[in-house]
């Protein structure tokens, strides 16, 4: 049995110039016997426009710990669904396996843990004839790995948040508030 009850992490990795491939996953990691496991199991049903699926690396290659992903944006086209269930899902799957390989996730607890990841995939990606799928993979791989690492390390710490309270500001506050 695991002592990991509920941990959260998030990360943002920005796209290459001219791309809309920013990745901003939010991760919840926890025991299958706790609130994360309950939420995981309840996600087996579908919600219109917000498909939920296991993270797999490829056919017959579901990751461990079992991970459910869903999009933060309403799916409105097959092109969007194919990117989400293709490049994005594969990048996340690779990141999870690498987290195991690098001991970011505890290998000995994969059968006791589960994860839920909410995914940002900009709707413009599905419409972009010049979409750089390599950059879409890169941003989602890096951001997923970083979000999981932050969850497992408890980052940012309370001390970090307090220390940078007047130096880090949400981008939407530019011109709204000055510190």
Per-residue pLDDT of the chain (179 residues; tens, 9 = 90+): 678 999 999 999 999 999 999 999 999 999 999 999 999 999 988 788 788 999 999 989 999 999 999 999 999 999 999 999 999 999 999 999 999 999 999 999 999 999 999 999 999 999 999 999 999 999 999 999 999 999 999 999 999 999 999 999 888 888 998 88
* Residues recorded for the chain: 179
Task: Reply yes or no: is the peptide bond before residue 65 cis, omega within 30 of 0.
Answer: yes
Strand order in the sheet with 113-119: 6-10, 26-31, 113-119, 67-71, 52-54
Q: What are the residues facing 50 on neighbouring strands? A: 47
Strand residue runs (E) in 20-154: 26-31, 52-54, 67-71, 113-119
> Residues 98, 145: contact at Cβ < 8 Å?
yes
Q: How many CA atoms lie within 13 A of 131 on its CB side?
A: 20
At 153, phi and psi to the nearest 5? -95, -5
pTM: 0.94
Residue 58 in tokens: 């490829």
């Amino acid at each position: 049995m695991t002592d990991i009850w509920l941990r959260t992490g998030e990360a943002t990795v920005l796209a290459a110039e001219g791309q809309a491939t920013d990745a901003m996953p939010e991760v919840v990691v926890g025991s299958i016997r706790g609130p994360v496991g309950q939420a995981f199991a309840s996600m087996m049903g579908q919600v219109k426009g917000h498909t939920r699926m296991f993270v797999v690396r490829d056919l017959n290659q579901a990751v461990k710990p079992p991970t459910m992903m869903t999009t933060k944006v309403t799916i409105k086209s097959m092109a969007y669904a194919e990117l989400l269930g293709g490049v994005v899902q594969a990048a996340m799957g690779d990141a999870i396996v690498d987290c195991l390989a690098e001991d970011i996730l505890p290998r000995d607890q994969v059968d006791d843990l589960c994860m839920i990841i909410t995914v940002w995939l900009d709707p413009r990606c599905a419409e972009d004839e010049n979409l750089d799928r390599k950059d879409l993979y890169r941003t989602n791989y890096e951001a997923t790995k970083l979000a999981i690492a932050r969850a497992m390390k408890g980052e940012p710490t309370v001390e970090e948040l307090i220390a940078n309270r007047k130096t880090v500001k949400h981008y939407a506050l530019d011109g709204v508030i000055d510190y």
